Amino acid sequence: MTKSDRANFGSKLGVILASAGSAVGLGNIWRFPFETGNHGGAAFIFIYLGCILFFGIPIMVAEFVIGRRSRSNTAGAYQKLAPGTHWRWVGRMGVLAGFLILSYYSVVAGWTLEYICEAATDSFEGKSAAEFIASFNSFVGNPWRPVIWLIVFLLATHFIIVKGVEKGIEKSSKIMMPILFLLLIILAICSVSLPGAGAGIEFLLKPDFSKVDAGVLLGAMGQAFFSLSLGMGCLCTYASYFRNDTNLPRTALNVAWIDTLVAILAGFIIFPAAFSVGIQPDAGPSLLFITLPNVFQQAFGSLPWLAVLLSILFYILLALAALTSTISMHEVVTAYLHEEFNLSRGKAARLVTGGCIVLGIFCSLSLGVGKEYTLFGLTLFDLFDFVTAKLMLPLGGLFISIFAGWYLDKKVIREEVSNNGTLKLGIYHIIAFLLKYICPLGIGIIFINELGLLK
């Protein structure tokens, strides 16, 4: 494919929204709260913020540089910038990670569709916290319903992917992001004003660093990569469609703060409500789905129509946020198959969708009827989550930082960061330093620590 017939993001706002649309998703609203809950609250958040700042932002700039410079899918990008070397394996690992994440992420995305229906049919009314937990468990344990929703969700992703980059991704991001933001703020205000919410706020703000162990560090780092869509060439693939005048560091900063704000808001929705109704913060992947209906129920109990309306709107927006993320993962794998194997875009997309449906079904069943089949003590769903978010993405990030910090010609980074000298270079020096020293060392130490080698 030549440079000129590759797609482009139309406007600057489109660039930011599409990248933020990839970043903002279930990672912020579903995964961030349950990881925070599993790892003790405020101290985890503190470390997470450090990871965003010191690893996330520089590595995002590096992915942008690699993508826009090469104007290629993520594996092709390394081939162009480092021909004949093994760096292309970093891109290939990213493609594999994208494929695996898409498979289990779509399972949870499917749950949001079920909850749209439940909200619309008034199923939340009059239920207690215990009943919400029971109904979630019975839904996830059902062999059919989650699988059907998963397939519906992947087909929706597929549909947008084959419609093309600009029309599909850009338009959908532009409409939904601002509305989602507003609704999150409203829900956070409702949640913190519930009776007994104070304990949840304390859980979010009062760090207890004595509980920080290797698992907390790895969890926070993995969450930072997952939430920012980093380490698998997703933003690298998106950057290959950026215009030449897109300001890369500024886009990275904007995506990072939007993403972080959404995650923190989600925390302020989930924990005050969870503490208020007596749901354990370490309930795991079910946390969002068992806590949130309580917020609608408790905060708007006296106005049932408003509770129904807001809950439908919320789950629709959550599904759309998940959709802009699944699109971005799908695009990584589709662009790779399309450009590297000369498949048509349609055929490439069908292969990805089909493969993800099969793997996704296994992931979904592993939470219900297949619960007793575990590997290393983890269900297939949890295994996919662990291997991708905690191993593949940070490892990808580590290699990307080494590639940009040590291998790639400084001139390339300087040109891309400054748009060929038209922007100031101040931030370049900070990013170059972080990429060269702080990211490889920091990520490396967290990995080594996790293996127990530092004790």
Residues binding ligand PHE (CB under 6 A): 22-23, 25-28, 101, 226-227, 229, 232, 234, 325, 328-329
Kindly report the backbone phi and psi dihedral angles of residue 375, in degrees, each rounded to the nearest multiple of 5, phi listed first. -130, 130
* Nearer Cβ to ligand PHE (19/276): 19
Q: How far is the CB of 105 from ligand PHE (least distance, A)?
A: 7
* Nearer Cβ to ligand PHE (191/237): 237
* Nearer Cβ to ligand PHE (100/435): 100
Contact (Cβ atoms closer than 8 angstroms) between residue 69 and residue 238: no
Q: How far is the CB of 156 from ligand PHE (least distance, A)?
A: 16
Q: How far is the CB of 454 from ligand PHE (least distance, A)?
A: 28
Closest by CA to 255, choosing from 27, 36, 38, 90, is 27
Q: How far is the CB of 341 from ligand PHE (least distance, A)?
A: 21
Q: Which amino acid is at 212?
A: V
* Nearer Cβ to ligand PHE (28/246): 28
Q: How many CA atoms lie within 13 A of 369 on its CB side?
A: 9
Can you give 374-385 as a three-state secondary structure string? Answer: CECCECHHHHHH
Q: Provide the terminal-to-terminal Cα distance of the chain, rounded to the nearest Å.
A: 51
CB atoms within 10 A of CB 134: 13
Q: How far is the CB of 363 from ligand PHE (least distance, A)?
A: 15
Q: Look-up: residue for tokens 């905060």?
A: 299
DSSP readout, 294-353?
A: HHHHHHSTT-HHHHHHHHHHHHHHHHHHHHHHHHHHHHHHHHHHHHHS---HHHHHHHHH
Q: Could you say which DSSP state residue 4 is in? A: G
Three-state DSSP at 378 gives strand
Q: How far is the CB of 121 from ligand PHE (least distance, A)?
A: 27
* Nearer Cβ to ligand PHE (31/145): 31
Q: Look-up: residue for tokens 């695996």?
A: 100
* Nearer Cβ to ligand PHE (19/364): 19
- How far apart are the C-alpha atoms of 319 and 226, rounded to whole Å? 18
Q: How far is the CB of 303 from ligand PHE (least distance, A)?
A: 31
* Nearer Cβ to ligand PHE (299/352): 352
* Nearer Cβ to ligand PHE (194/323): 323
Burial class (CB in 10 A: 0-12, 13-18, 19+), 162: middle
Among all residues, whose Cβ is closest to ligand PHE? 27
- How far apart are the C-alpha atoms of 157 and 168, rounded to whole Å? 10
Q: How far is the CB of 450 from ligand PHE (least distance, A)?
A: 20
